[in-house]
Amino acid sequence: MKIVIGNDHAAPELKLACVKHLEEQGYEVIDTGVGVGEKCDYPDAARRVCTLIQQGKADLGILICGTGIGMSMSANKFKGIRAACCSEVFSARLTREHNNANVLCFGARVVGEGTALDLVDIFVKTPYSGDERHEKRIAKITEIEKEEVK
């Protein structure tokens, strides 16, 4: 599984901790984020991550800003992206199982490193259930996307 990760200036250290954690477990990680001391507007970071997913160059994405909110708002504007802003593991698990989320967002000013690594773990390890009722609801999200994004 290939994971693409991005961050703005609020989260370079937490991003590096997530990259290390994933690589130690054998995941291939594409780091598109900024480093310590660099500035970046969160929509630009979201664009880089979502574009690679849309192109099929990564399976899942992780976006970290101060709150995770700007990243999730931006990411959800991209076709085919279902981004979830989570600060606890129950939501991170359910958004994979039920929503088939392909991007996890969280805030470096909201969660500590321990929670962040737990969020990342549960998100990348939980499969989508594929259940019929969830399929139907996700198809409705896609319908909205088609109607709205001309």
Of residues 40, 58, 41, the one with CA closest to residue 50? 58
Q: How far is the CB of 78 from ligand RB5 (least distance, A)?
A: 16
Binding site for ligand RB5 (CB under 6 A): 8, 10, 42, 65-67, 69-70
Q: Helix, strand, coil % (nearest 5) of the chain?
A: 50, 15, 35
Q: Which is nearer to ligand RB5, 75 or 122 (CB)?
A: 75
The one-letter amino acid code at 40 reads C
Query: How near is the Cβ of 53 to ligand RB5 at its closest, in Å?
Result: 20
Rounded Cα gap, residues 64 and 107, in angstroms = 6
Cα 145 to Cα 65, 76, 77, 139: the distances in Å are 25, 10, 9, 10
Q: How far apart are the first and last CA of the chain?
A: 31
Distance of closest approach, residue 17 Cβ to ligand RB5, in angstroms = 17
Between 59 and 66, CB nearer to ligand RB5: 66
Asked if 21 is an active-site residue, the reply is no
Is the CB of 42 or the CB of 123 nearer to ligand RB5?
Answer: 42
Task: Please pick, among 18, 40, 50, 65, the residue that the annotation labels catalytic.
Answer: 65
- 98 counts as catalytic: yes
Catalytic residues: 65, 98
